[in-house]
Amino acid sequence: MLSSILAIVMGIVILGADQLTKYYISANFVYGESVPFIKGFIDLQFIENSGSAWGMLSGKTWILLTITVVVMLVLITFMLKYGKNSKLLIWAVSLVVSGGIGNLIDRVFRGGKVVDFLHFEFFPSFPIFNIADIAVVIGAGLLILYFIVDTVKESKKNKEKAQNG
């Protein structure tokens, strides 16, 4: 129970940090402006993205909104059904949902565009991203880990049944 509460609080903190940083960047940077944050590593560069990663589905706001809402609803339903037995699943879904809400807020209130500002200087072709994107990627990674762990547990359980039965 405590882990679930902490995961939800963490999601709220991430959502707040995402919205605050996006507000700061959009209020204090000129569009396209780039400032070194960690020299040689990360620049802060203000852009707005009307698509998803690498600009895919650019300008397709309704499709992106629909996909985001459907994915979040599926994950929340899955978590409510199976999350009682897995802290990993609860944390993964909390991250994906908080990041999804962060970018959803942008799409709804910024004309279909998401504020992005984190740019890896040493990897120029990597997309510029934001805190919500980081939460979604980490959450998705944890979801993959959850499914791997769950599959291994099921496999062991089935082996034990076969050996004992």
- pTM (two decimals): 0.89
Q: Looking at residues 123-145, what average pLDDT do you find? A: 93
Active-site annotation, residues: 116, 133
pLDDT over 70 for what percent of the chain? Answer: 99
Separation of alpha carbons 141 and 12, rounded Å: 19
Statement: residue 26 has pLDDT above 90: yes
Cβ atoms of 117 and 124 within 8 Å: the answer is no
Q: Identify the band that residue 165 occupies on the pLDDT scale cut at 50, 70 and 90.
A: low
